Amino acid sequence: MNEKKPLSTTRLELIPATAPLVRAEMGQADLFSKLLGAEIPENWPPELLVDVLPFFLEQLERHPEQTGWLSWYWVLRGDAEAVLVGSGGFKGCPQPDGTIEVGYSVLPQYQGYGYATEAVSGLLSWAFAHAEVSRVIAETLPDNERSIRLLERLNFLCTGQGSEPGLIHFELARASYHKTTLRPYCVK
């Protein structure tokens, strides 16, 4: 399976992070925009992502085979100019028991349009296409209603307290996964 191939969903192109992309993201906005083929909003990167970019860069430089197992950029392509709306991915390659953890973020101005649900659904399809993945987990805050709705919509089950106090844990087993076709929707 080609780990570097972009994924297409109904409205988005998901582009796996590579060392050159992350390096450009960290300080060369014009090059980053050119490499992605998309406009980069002024409030990029999301606050949650800033601290992990050096880790992503280090991992991808040392282990390029991890491409796809870390971050993916979500580019909205339509009639207008392409624009980066969010990102998400996994916390590394599958663990020996087949578990991976998914995380995601959408810029505030693009929240409420179903982009995260669409993108995470695409990432789940990609992950479960790998035989070594048996379970995907996620954690979120109990007051993050949008994230909880997203996980429930994708058939994740809440299994209790997360790895740290104040987080709740969700999981989706391969046996419970079924690829769904999500239609665009707007909840705003």
Residue 179: pLDDT band with limits 50, 70, 90: low
Predicted confidence at residue 181, as pLDDT, reads 45
Q: What is the mean pLDDT of residues 99-117?
A: 96
In the chain, what are the domains?
7-176 (3.40.630.30)
**What DSSP assignment string belongs to 48-117?**
HHHTTHHHHHHHHHH-GGGTTSSEEEEEE-SSS--EEEEEEEESSSPPTTSEEEEEEEE-GGGTTSSHHH
pTM (predicted TM-score): 0.90
The answer to whether 95 and 80 have CB atoms below 8 angstroms apart is no
User: pLDDT of 58-101, one tens digit each?
Assistant: 999 999 999 999 999 999 998 778 999 999 999 999 999 999 99
Predicted confidence at residue 78, as pLDDT, reads 80
Q: Which helix (H) or strand (E) holds 24?
A: helix 19-25
